[in-house]
Structure 1
Amino acid sequence: MIQLIVNADDFGFSSGVNYGIIDTHLNGIVNSATMMMNMEGTEHAIQLSKEHPSLQVGIHLVLTCGKPLLQDASSLTNEEGFFHSLSDLHSKKETIRVEEVEREWTAQIEKFLSSGVPLTHMDSHHHVHTIGELLPVVQRLAEKYNLPVRANGLDQIQGVAPFSDVALFDFYGDGLEAEYFNKLGERFSQPTKVEVMTHPAYLDTAILNGSSYTYKRIEEVDLLKAVVLPEGIQLL
């Protein structure tokens, strides 16, 4: 038996993303989402979470999109005050102050908790929680807030409770196909708790102007609403 978590990333990015996630939850197989706490759609996502408590919601820790919640985290931002891009973040790793990452992520978690929405787990935008230099921060926050953490693919994050046995990142881009979920049984012969990362959304100007992943998000909506899970795969 495969226990399946279908997690929609980027909850809170914009209203278009939020509506895509809720639609694929109510009319499809999405049963979990992770919320960004620093984006234009965050308050809307909080409202929708409260209206649809059947959707599990974790936190999507951010280090590479939008602006930080903190004003005094200069090593994390460019001259305009926005977070570094993912490529810039990796190139500037030596100058990133880890204590600023911890303070910023703590602020993001605290903002989530103050919303009143139950917090189920944590992962991150662009998988930045898997950066080796940030492992101690991830470990401390996971322990402090008693949160399981998304696996790094087939590997667990050292020293934290796992959200699933494995996390799959290939339901994305050219990997989108109608039979994706039917084929999971071929990939895992033993009883396994599997998380599949997804990015459903309806397009709006925020997505078109702020993300490199656009029209495929609509395709994800259609696919996630059409799935009929085969015997042996059960939503968790």
Structure 2
Amino acid sequence: MPRRLIINCDDFGMYPAVNAGVLHALEDGIASSCSLMPPCPAAAGAMSLLRDRPHLPFGIHLTLFCDTPAYPWAPLTARGEVPSLLNAAGEFFRPDQVPALLAQARAEEVAVEFRAQIRAVLDARLSPTHLDWHCLADGGREDLFDVTLALADEHGLGVRAWLGPARRRLRRLGRPVTDHDFLDSFRLGLEAKFLRYAELLRALPEGTSEWAVHPGLADDEARRIDPGWRVRATDHEFLTAPQAAALLAAEGITLVGHRASGTGGETNLPNVR
């Protein structure tokens, strides 16, 4: 059985250095797709880049958290319509406050905000492939997974499944899913990260796997506003290194990405780019 790998760049649109790093990883590196965050300040720039490059596959990174208080973003829906998605200050929660959000978020308000984020992308005349989540594994709650699955069906989009229960559920529904556990690059250590990625490629099992990576440039703004800039810089270093492409070729690993079928939201895994 062949070894297939989705290398998806999360957080496209978060801020300009992320946009630059993601684009570089897609066009000159080994990344095979990306996910766009519609509420973020640099989302308009990311959407412009995608309009100019319709061949680049991308999903929508459904967003209920703000990672950078010094560079904030907010719901696309009026705050009065989604109060359960906001903290005591009336802002998006931080990623380290996932339990607090999940304890109070109302599914109907999540649906309103997710629908607004999807609409922002469609109104920009873009064609996403799939839906996934920022800082939430499979939506974080079963009912939020249900909300996302219904929106994916409505728009003919795929859904990224991270954990075993969601993968099994999608498989029961007859939807292609990945075969193995999901890798989130924020869970990798920074020390010897390049070597760790190389080890993971060599050990990649047969079937389809997915990595969520987070490339970004380490410019002055990134260092100032983003506590995770080192993760992004080291991801970018590996994804754009000639050695990474050479290792993929030597290992016979096929890069794939999510692709919307337009027929009930099923996700297909396309041929190598």
Normalising by the smaller structure, the TM-score range is 0.7 to 0.9
Aligned match of 1:78: 87
Q: Does structure 2 conserve the Cα–Cα contact (< 8 Å) formed by 1:21 and 1:33?
A: yes
Count of aligned pairs:
234
Using the alignment, how far apart are the partners of 2:134 and 2:11 within structure 1?
Answer: 7
Is the Cα–Cα contact under 8 Å of residues 121 and 163 in structure 1 kept in the other structure?
A: no
Residue 81 of structure 1, CA deviation: 3.1
Residue 42 of structure 2 corresponds to 41
Q: Would the aligned equivalents of 1:177 and 1:223 in 2 still touch at CA under 8 Å?
A: yes
Q: From the superposition, tell whether residues 154 and 86 of structure 1 become closer, same or farther in structure 2 (CA, over 3 Å).
A: same
Q: Please, which of 168, 180, 200 is the counterpart of residue 182 of structure 2?
A: 168
Deviation at 1:162, TM superposition (A): 4.8
In structure 2, the CA distance between the partners of 1:91 and 1:21, relative to structure 1 (3 Å rule), is: same
Gaps in structure 2 of 5+ consecutive residues: 67-72, 257-273
| Structure 1 residues 141 and 9: alpha-carbon distance in aligned structure 2, compared to 1, 3 A threshold | same
After TM superposition, give the deviation of residue 164 of structure 1 in Å: 3.4
SS at match of 1:10: strand
* Aligned-partner residue type, residue 235 of structure 1: L
Q: Who is 2:124 aligned against?
A: 115
1:35 and 1:60 in contact (8 A); partners too: yes
Shift of 1:21: 0.5
User: Structure 1 residues 96, 131: closer, same or farther in 2, change over 3 A?
Assistant: same
Measure, in 2, the Cα distance between the counterparts of 1:143 and 1:154.
21
Q: 1:137 aligns with which of 147, 152, 157?
A: 147
Q: How does 1:172-183 map to 2 (within 5 A)?
A: 172=186, 173-174=188-189, 176-178=193-195, 180-181=197-198, 183=200
Cα distance in 2, alignment partners of residues 177 and 163 from structure 1: 27
Shift of 1:178: 3.5
Q: Which amino acid aligns with 2:61?
A: H
Provide the C-alpha distance between the structure 1 equivalents of 2:90 and 2:225, rounded to a whole number of angstroms. Answer: 16
Tell me the TM-score normalized by structure 2.
0.77
- Partner residue of 1:233? 253
Pairwise CA distance, 1:51: 2.1
3-state SS, counterpart of residue 189 of structure 2 = helix
Deviations 1:54-108 (CA, angstroms, capped at 9, x unpaired): 3211100001123100112111112443211234341253432110001100110
Structure 1 partner of 2:232: 217
In structure 2, the CA distance between the partners of 1:129 and 1:207, relative to structure 1 (3 Å rule), is: farther
Structure 1: where are the runs of 5+ without partners?
none
Separation in structure 2 between the aligned mates of residue 16 and residue 136 of structure 1, nearest angstrom: 33
The residue number in structure 2 matching 1:29 is 30
Change (3 A) 1:231 1:99: same
RMSD over aligned Cα, in angstroms?
A: 2.3
CA distance in 1, matches of 2:16, 2:182: 26
Q: Distance in 2 between matches of 1:167 and 1:147?
A: 22
Higher deviation after alignment, 161-170 or 63-72: 161-170
